[in-house]
Structure 1
Amino acid sequence: MTLDSVPTQAAALAVLELLAKEAPASAYDELAASTRRLGASEAELEELRSALELGLAVRAQLGRRQQREAGLSALVDTARDLTLPYDLDTLLKVITRRARLLLNLDMAYISFHDDEAGDSYVRTADGHATALTVGFRVPREGGLGSAARQNTAPFWTHDYMADDRITHHPVIDDVVRAEGLHAILAVPLRHRETSFGVLYSADRDVRHFTPGEIALMSSLGDLATVAIEKARLFNQARLDIADLEQYGARAKSELAAAHRVNGIHRRMIDLLLEGSGLGALTELAAESLGGTVAVLDLGSRTLAATGDLPAADLAGVAGATLEAQVAQEPIQLTDTGWLAPVTAGTERLGSLLLHATDALSPAELELLQLTAGTTGVLLLMQRNTAVAESQVRDEFFDALLSPAQRPLPQLRDRARSLGLDLERAYTAVVIRPEGGSQGRAVVWASSYALRFGGLSRVRGGCIVLLLPSEDPGTTARQISRELTPLLGHPVTVGAAGPSTRIEDIEPTYAEAVRCLNALSALGGSGSTASARELGFLGLLLGDRHSVGDYITHAIGPVIDYDTHRFTNLVQTLEAYFQSGSSPTYAAESLHVHPNTVSRRLERITALLGEDWQDPSRALEVQLALRLHRTRETLDPAAGEEVPGRP
């Protein structure tokens, strides 16, 4: 029906019809005006007004219900949206956008508390803003956020700057003015009993928030709190998973490195069991660690090395060895230089040096320490073996130095079993320390003999060495230079040789003893000399005089040549010296041609050496000739004896 045809008595029915059609508010005004035009009575108009008021009330209530349903629907959509697996920043953007659209406001933003700084900061914002940007610091005291935190409930204002309930802060007021904000609603974000932030919704117009809108924003705040905590837990779980993955990868890598270190260590142990030496061990260590490896003894002398070490790595070895010993672990000398102590229990045996090509990992440092420990075991094994072998070598050396020697074949067999080639040239050295304890000298002599493939023994209070050498004088001086600083006091050294036969070792040793005695008789304690350097002085001043040894040393080859070839080289030598070293006059006294004398002298030079005519050597040769001739005069049978026999 039309409004014009509605009778006044049907006003209530008309209002119901408008409600059923969900007519706008203007339709109710038209119904009242139409009723007045029809000339309704005052009672009828009053009845109509009552009906219209009830109708408008019902319409408003229906509107609020629809609005609440729409808000709840939007809130449900928001809750569903917040269940998606966002990271924290994305989630906060979703919350602020939903808050702004939920109440159709101009902007929304979230601030988080910073307890260390004593204020809050804007974490995210939605809507057009110039001052309220991400990172803006919000003072803790003042503003709606402070009131919301203190009351643990939403706090709102229809016009911020005109509201006296709010504790104003200059910084916050400046931002509100800059943004042109009026109506602001603040909802605290609380997890359990702790407030961690505030959700703000703001409008640039003066607006009174209804209880439904406040309840809606409060519900959104609760949903946001749950979502934020979920996102935080999700992020923390993701970080924990990443840490676990990283830890697992690191543990896998460390386990692989540990397996590699154990494998290399097993190979080192196998080398020890196979009887390999320091060379093989250092080669394996250098290959495994990637660099140059050297093993040094306590005197910083190199026992084995895979190459040359830089001078910078060697410079600090002396001081660093003790430090590494105390620390019981490798220490770094330079950027690429490392030193590890080589020990056996509490006993220091030396040090292991590494010049690495790259920085060492923890596993490589462990391998370096294991290598040092394996080296200590090897050195200890070698020392124990050397001690056991030294007893056998000492007994064999005693047999060589005894005048009543065992059968030569037996001595040769024992020499071969000890790895000695006594058919080569050997020098006998007798050492007498001039003061202090003899113990250190004995230990040094044993090590020195092993180093050069010789023998050592203590006899008659002196140290006796038999060393591969063809120059007794040089060998004696070298021993004195090395041993004197070690003992801290001088040593007297006598040397003789070389001898190339087993049966000549005992006489050579006796000659070295005479050299030592001659040095003492001449007041030369602390000096060195060989039999060749002393010449006939050794014969005159020695405690045991051996004319035969002296004759053998000086002209033995010439006498042997005459004996086996029936020549007259000894007679030619005598005539040569008696004629004033003139081959011509010697030829006249011998009744031979001068060329014959010249050829004989060439043969003598080949037997005695180029220096036999030097003044000092010539004097010894002449003395030997005189002694030889005297022995033949006194005892004709002496000339038939083996040269060298006293």
Structure 2
Amino acid sequence: MLELLATEAPPAEVSELLRRVRSRGADPATLVQWERAERLAQRVHTLFSHRQQREAELASLLDTARELSAPHGLDALLKTIARRTRTLLGLDMACVSLREDEAGGCLVRAADGHASALTVGLLVPRSIGLGDEAMTRSVPLWSSDYLSDDRLRRTDALDEAVRAEGLRAMIAAPLRCGDETSGVLYAGDRSIRHFTIGEVSFMSLLGDIAAVAIEKASLLERGRAEAAALRSGISRAKSQLARARELVRLHHGLVDHALAGRGLKGLVAELADVLCGAVQVKDPEQRTLRAAGDVPDTDAAEVLEASRAALARRLPVVLSTGTWMIPVMAGNEELGALLLHPHAPDHEPDEQLLLLAAQSVSVLLRVQSGEAAAASPFRDELFGDLLASPRPSRQVLQRAARLNVDLERPHVVVTIGPEADELGRVAGWAASYARRMGGLRSVQQGRVDLLLPAVDSSASAAKVFAEVSPLLTHPVTVGAAGPVNGPDLIRQTHAEARHCLDALISLGSTGAHASPEDLGFLGMLLSDNRDAAYFIAATIGPVLDYDAQRTTELTRTLHAYFTAGGSPTHAAEALHVHPNTVSRRLERITELLGADWLKPERALEVQVALRLHLTHSLLRRKRHHDPDQADRPELPAWSDEEESADMA
């Protein structure tokens, strides 16, 4: 028996030896030993056969690995994997699917032995089929009869493709490379088949080898694509380098110009030559600082929107007129904007050149602001001297002229009331803001005051409030007053702004901003330079002017209307006219004062102004006429001549 095993005799010869022993009539005990020896010999034969099969499989895997490791394009590699899988397992068909996360599943990229056009290009959705289960569990899975297997989730499209191929048994192995699974390797047979453990293990090894090869091919393709992109980039870089050198040369020239102290006018003229167009430089308030050439006017709303877009993107934007707007910035600080209108309508300027031009402008503005910062203590001292005396001396006015402060322009005073622990932060911000706006700053008694060139105190207060509030942790209150022309009224306007700030705080409006105009008749009470006549003219002036020019009775009708509690009928009785006459007069008053004059807040102001006017008229008659005439009970005390004229 051992000799047969040593010579690798076939199993039939082992069985024949046992038959001869039996035919010789061996005793039962000896026969039992011979039968056991025959069984052991057959088992050894089986082990030899398995080992030989395993060696053949490993050899075929080694050949497959060699073939797959050769340089391939990804599509060619996938076809080779499908062909090798089908032939090594002796099955009817094999295919490879790769994950497509954007498509939401795995896409069949290659197949071998397929008989239908439905297979290649088939998208297998997530959570569907044998392959998804194999990817989820990271182990090969099989089914002896796929279409009859109720354990699997399927779709009509997938079942249709399986039927078109005539497949019954299927096995799927995940394509794993490290911790990543890139797809699924499928193999199938057109008859019912139960896969052995060896076949399942072999399929798993094939999937691992294929996954490594796919990863390598993918990296190789990406590398080739990147190399091609690099070559293209090098070519572009060479052409851009020449352009960059030209831009650097221009930039050096522009910055040298800015640093040479030749002023904004010369820089703008040079920019107009370099950029081939009309150039304007504007400050943050969209006021023109310098210009060279004519830049077309643009709608203010469009300019504001474009300015915001340019600041947000820090890139040039083009307006509807064909004008380019470039933000001029120093860090995060807005210094203004550069406008360019090309001479050639179809010419699109170089964006980098525009940014360099804006940078040269910012350098010049920074240099000028640095000079202004050096003069900042003198400017603060100037503002303090203006507030110290009702009539500034000639020396103070001369200092203002040397500091380029034109006190004859309209100015407003803005007063900021921060919390005590934030006074330093507000004072620092106010110094920068005053330099930007061409104004003055002063810090006194825990308040920060600004003297700014402007014509609208309410708008100035709103802007200061909007800029300083984000910098602070506590609410800040802002009061304003003005405008005034000339240095003599600055002290008085400063006191009015402070009164306005105190009124806001007293009224519980901390964290708000206002001017006397915003406070209505309260503003008149707070004002030092606005008397009652100003308030009367601002509130009911159009009605008074209408009466004076046309000899009408709108003022008298207005008084009668309020005296009658807002009843046109009772007012008509008091005036001895028809109610329709009162209604027409009220319509005329609405045209003169606006549709909101009857709203509670506005109506209160109108009544206060009317009462002040009537009282003023009474006191004036008391000075110029018989004192007894002033004691007449009705208001207003029109003369008989006026009443006759009214009746006429």
- Give the TM-score band, short-chain normalised: 0.3 to 0.5
Q: TM-score normalized by structure 1?
A: 0.43
Tell which structure's C-alpha radius of gyration is larger: 1
